[in-house]
Amino acid sequence: MAKLRRGSHPTYSEASSLRLRAAWLYYNQGLTQKDVAERLGISRSTVIRLLDEALKRAEVQIWISDGIGDCVELATGLEKAFGLDEAIVVPAPASDQADAIAKAVGLALGEFLSDVIEDNTTIGVGWGRTMTASLSGFRPPRRENCKVVSLLGGIVAVHQTNPIDYTWRLASQLGAECYMFLAPLLVDSVETKQALIEKCGLKTLYDLAENLDLAVVSCGDIGPQSTSLSEGFISHETLDELIAAGCICDTMFNFLDAEGRSVEHSINQRVMSVELDTLKKAKHIVLSSGGAHRAKAIRATIKRIGCNTLITDEAAARELLKLQGQSRPGAEETA
């Protein structure tokens, strides 16, 4: 998988997030400027400039010692534990409600996407609360020859999450071509699914998904706070069946067990979405989800499709490190 090189995104390299990461690695972790440059995918001269700017802004004294350093340390631990190119960890919101977590993590996702999308990029997107929340932080420059491709079907009765609106607004702000998955999220049979793909114009989406430059997805847990249940996409009866089959994760309405394997349930054959095995071919995969209750789902999703950039919150980050057998960032993996 390709790594997004920060040196090619000057706007983001000037942002406070990158300055703090550089400062943390250099001053707290004891890395050399050369090592910091290699870790962050930027030049040594950029590291020198970032460190100088951090000192002038007093960020080394105020921000790192005031709790933000915990997020950077957690991000470093996640990168090592899961082999990520980059982890972005935001402070846990004051409320542990799903909407508050989605808003905090989504804002970071929007800022990230604003800075990394370049011209001639084909972007595949899922949808959900976190993805919708990313629009509040999405302020990209206009790009040339970009495509935004929806990766799964939609819903008839919209409550909080409108997948069509999300894909359209993302594409509109980029000035990109928009390919919307105009089909229901779930159909009655495999035969209906194949007919929609082959005879109703959806094959174009599946073909585009074979060569994504960037795939942006979220994931949910299977429980009381899951979007699938709260939005009425599945019934309590179906939820019980999925749990009995070993399901702990909903990734693009594909239901997975703790190891990232599709559980034995007909819903996985009837969902209108790009196959997860296709999604894992994307050059760069961004996974964005938060909350300690979703740590197992995040881990299962990484096992199934991989991940280059993980965007999450403190609570999920700490739980993910525990699941990997690490009581603290930087500890050796024992599981």
CA distances from 15 to 21, 50, 59 (A): 10, 9, 12
CA dist., res. 192 & res. 183, Å (int): 11
What stretch(es) of the chain map to CATH 3.40.50.1360? Answer: 69-323
Q: What is the mean pLDDT of residues 20-35?
A: 83
> Residue 62 — pLDDT band, cuts 50, 70, 90?
very low
Q: Give the residue, 221 or 27, on which the prediction is more confident.
A: 221
Which tens digits make up the pLDDT trace of 258-300? 999 999 999 999 999 999 999 999 999 999 999 999 999 999 9
Long-range residue pairs from 47-55, CB within 8 A, at least 24 positions apart, any chain = 47/22, 50/13, 50/18, 50/19, 50/22, 50/23, 51/19, 51/22, 51/23, 51/26, 53/19, 54/19, 54/20, 54/22, 54/23
What stretch(es) of the chain map to CATH 1.10.10.60? Answer: 1-66
CA dist., res. 89 & res. 75, Å (int): 6
Please state which of the ranges 137-146, 159-168, 173-182 shows the lowest mean pLDDT. Answer: 159-168
* HSE-up (13 A, CA, CB side) for residue 81: 29
Three-state secondary structure call for residue 184 = strand
Residue 330's pLDDT is what? 46
Asked whether residue 66 carries a pLDDT value surpassing 50, the answer given is no
- Give the DSSP per-residue string, 255-315: EE-TTSPBPS-THHHHB-B--HHHHTTSSSEEEE--SGGGHHHHHHHHHHH--SEEEEEHH
Which tens digits make up the pLDDT trace of 101-139? 999 999 999 999 998 999 999 999 998 889 999 998 898
pLDDT over 70 percentage in the chain = 83
Class in CATH terms, 1-66? mainly alpha
Fold of 69-323: Rossmann fold (3.40.50)
Instruction: Report residue 90: phi and psi, to 5°.
Output: -100, 155
Give me the chain's average pLDDT, please: 85
CA dist., res. 60 & res. 32, Å (int): 17
